Structure 1
Amino acid sequence: MEVNCEGCAGCCIDWRAIAPTSSDHERRGPRRPLDDAYNLVPLMREEVEAFVEAGLGDAMTPRLWHDDSGIEIGGERLAAIGGKPAFFLGLRKPPKPVEPFEIGESEWLPTCTFLDPETLQCRIHGTDLYPMECAEYPGHNCKLGQQTECERVEEAFGGERLLDSEPPEALSGLLLGPQAIGEKVFVYPEPDELSPVVDRMLADELTDEDRAHFVASAAASGPGTTEHNRAVYETVLEQARAADSWVGRSIREWEAMAENSDEPDPSVAERVEAERGAPSTPGW
C-alpha cells in the first residue's frame, strides 16, 4: 500500500498526549488491555523466535486483556483460551524525545524501541526482523474496514498520509479466530504464577524476568493448540533472561532521562542507541 510516512511515524508512537482530541480506540468493547500501550504490534511466533536468536529477547513485552467472562487471577478477570490466560507479544515502547507531525518541538512520548527518534525511521525496516504486522500495515485495517492510524493523523494534524486505501490481495499476517492460536495469540501455561505479574502489569512495573517468561511461553507454543514444548520453553527462557542488547540498555537510559525530565533532544539517540550498537536507519 502507498503511505506517506516521512515525518510521521504515527503508528510507531503513542501520540495521545499531543492529540487535539482524545482517542481510545484500542480500549473499546469487552476485552481491554491491562497495559496502557498504544498501537502495540503483535508478533508472530516465528518472529518471537527470530528476535530471541538475534539476542533481542529484551525487546518484547506481553499484552493481556480484561474479560468479565474470563478466568480470575490476582483479583482481575482475564481473557483466556482453554482456561489459560491469553496474550500476545509486542515491541516495547519506552519514552523517547520525538517530534512527529512537525509539531514544532520535541516531546517525551512512548515510542517503538526500534524507531530512531531523530529520523523517525525504523532501524529494522527491510530486515529479516521487520514484523509482518508492520510490513503489511495498514492493509489489515483496510481489509477489515477499520480506521487506520494514517487517517487518525490526517484528522488530527492535516496532510495526506494514506495515499492508497485498497488492501493487498494477500495479507500473510491477518490471522483471525482459531488459526491465530499458537501463532499470534498465545496462552500462559502456568496461570497460578501470574497473580503478582498482573499487579505489576497494571502498575506498569513488569520486570525483565516477567517478560522473559512470556517470551518463552510464546516461542514454545504449538500452532493451533494451547500446548507447550517444555524443552523449547526452558531453552528460550534462558536465552531471554540472558539478553542484554542495545535495546534493553537504551530503554533503561531513556526511562531514566524521561523520569528526570531531561530536555527532550532527539539527537542524543546517537549516544543512547547508536553507540550501543543500534543499526542505522535506511533513509527516505
Structure 2
Amino acid sequence: MDWTALIERDGDGSENGTELECSTDADSGSSEAGLSESNLRGRVGNSDADATNRPPFDSDANFVPLTREEVRTFLERGLAAAMTPRFWHARDESEAVEIDGHAVAAIADRPVFFVGLRKPPKPVTPFDRTEPTWLPACVFLDPTTLQCRIHDDDHFPTECGAYPAHNLELDQETECERVEAAFGGDRLVDDRVTDEEIADEPLLGLQAIGEKLFCHPRPTELEGVIDRLEAGTLRPADRAECLAVASASSSGTLAVSESHYERGKARALEAMDGDTGNDSDDDHDDDTDDTDGDAAAGESETRSWVGPAIREWTRRYRHHQQSTPGDDAPPAELAVDIEEARGAPETPGWDALE
C-alpha cells in the first residue's frame, strides 16, 4: 500500500494527514489513485533513476515491475485489469521522444515502460491504527488481514518475492525501515541476505530490455496515453496497448512479435469488458451496490474478480468523499463482499502463521 498519505512531517515533527486523490478512469468507472505531492521514494525495482533523474509520470510510490512472462501469465488468467504501465520523463533530449508535449524517456526512439500492479483505494488500518483510512493499496492486498491474496500462487510476482533482499544486497533503504522511521517499532526483523534470496537477481541495464523494461515500437500509438497517465485517468484501451507490447517483447532485444501483440491486446481488451476506449464517464453518484449482480454473473475464462472489485472500491471511495465531513471510512471487512464474493482468494490471517 502507499501509506505516505497517512503522515506529513513538518518542521516540528508533528503529523498531519494528507488527502488521497482519486481520478476517474474514464471509460471503465475505475481509477488510478494517487497522492498530491507524493514522496516518490520507490523500491530498487523501480530502478535507481526513478526518483532522481527520471521521475515517472504516475504517482505510485512503490511500483512493483512485472516480467514479460508474468505479464503473459496475468493476461492468460484474465487479470489484465490488475496491471498498469509506468513511463518516465526523459533525463535529457538525447534519450527523449515527444508525446503529448512531454519528453518521454526512450531507447532508440522507442518509449520505455514498466508494467506493474494497480493500487485502487481501499479502507485499511495499518501500523496499529484503530480507524480505517482510504489508501492506494495493491489490487491483491486483502484490506482485512493486510496480506497478499496471491502470495502462495505460482503467479506471485518475482519482485515481490525477492523484496527486501534486493534492496539489502544493493545497500538501499527498505520499506520496512521507512515504516520504522515513520511509526516506530521493529519491522526489518532480519537484515541478512541468503544466496537463495538473491538467486533471482534484479534485472538492471541491457538485460532488463524485453524482460522487465519494454520498448514501444510505435510512439504515435501512445498519443493521449501519457497525458492520461499523468492525470490518473488511464483507459482500459491504454493499458491493453502497453500490455500487448510487453507480452510480445523479446528478451534482450527491441523486437516485438506482431502475432503475440495482436493476441495479447485482444486478450487484454476481452478481460476488461472489451472496452476500446470511448470517453464516457461511467461514474455512479448513487448508493446502488452492484456487488451481488457482478458476483452472481460469474467469471468467464478471460474475466476475473479484479476489474469489478476495482470499480466498486472506487465507487465507494467517491461516495465517501461526497458524504458528511468526518464520516469514518467503511470497515476493511467489506472486502468479503467486494472481493471474495467475486472470487478473490482468501488469506489465512496472522493467527494461522504463528
Same fold (TM over 0.5): yes
Q: Does 1:95 align with 2:121?
A: yes
Q: Does 1:277 align with 2:303?
A: no
Counterpart residue type for residue 259 of structure 1: R
CA contact (8 A) 1:20 1:156 kept: no
Structure with the greater alpha carbon radius of gyration: 2
- How far off is 1:53 after superposition? 1.0
- How far off is 1:40 after superposition? 1.1
Q: TM-score, normalised by structure 1?
A: 0.92
Corresponding residue of 2:190: 164
CA contact (8 A) 1:123 1:282 kept: no
Corresponding residue of 2:41: 25
Corresponding residue of 1:59: 82
Corresponding residue of 1:78: 104
Tell me which of 181, 190, 194 is aligned to 2:218: 190
CA contact (8 A) 1:139 1:171 kept: no
The CA distance in 1 between the partners of 2:214 and 2:145, in whole Å, is: 34
Please, which runs of 5 or more residues in structure 1 have no aligned partner? Answer: 1-12
Q: How does 1:81-230 map to 2 (within 5 A)?
A: 81-169=107-195, 170-230=198-258
The CA distance in 2 between the partners of 1:90 and 1:256, in whole Å, is: 23
CA contact (8 A) 1:98 1:264 kept: no
Q: Deviations over 1:54-94 (max 9, x none)?
A: 11111100000011422211110111111100000001100
Corresponding residue of 1:43: 66
- How far off is 1:24 after superposition? 3.2
- How far off is 1:246 after superposition? 0.5
Q: TM-score, normalised by structure 2?
A: 0.75
CA contact (8 A) 2:40 2:51 kept: yes
CA contact (8 A) 1:140 1:171 kept: no
- How far off is 1:19 after superposition? 2.5
Counterpart residue type for residue 83 of structure 1: D
Counterpart residue type for residue 340 of structure 2: A
The CA distance in 2 between the partners of 1:18 and 1:160, in whole Å, is: 19
Corresponding residue of 1:7: none
Moved more, 47-56 or 110-119: 47-56
- How far off is 1:282 after superposition? 3.3
State the identity %: 50
CA contact (8 A) 1:216 1:237 kept: yes
The CA distance in 2 between the partners of 1:196 and 1:68, in whole Å, is: 21
CA contact (8 A) 1:116 1:269 kept: yes
- How far off is 1:272 after superposition? 0.4
Moved more, 62-71 or 17-26: 17-26
Q: Does 1:16 align with 2:4?
A: yes
Corresponding residue of 1:248: 307
The CA distance in 2 between the partners of 1:29 and 1:154, in whole Å, is: 23
Please, which runs of 5 or more residues in structure 2 have no aligned partner? Answer: 10-37, 43-49, 272-302, 322-328
- How far off is 1:252 after superposition? 0.5
The CA distance in 2 between the partners of 1:141 and 1:229, in whole Å, is: 33
Question: What RMSD, in angstroms, separates the aligned Cα atoms of the two structures?
Answer: 1.3
Q: Does 1:231 align with 2:275?
A: no
Counterpart residue type for residue 139 of structure 1: A
CA contact (8 A) 2:247 2:260 kept: yes
Aligned residues: 272
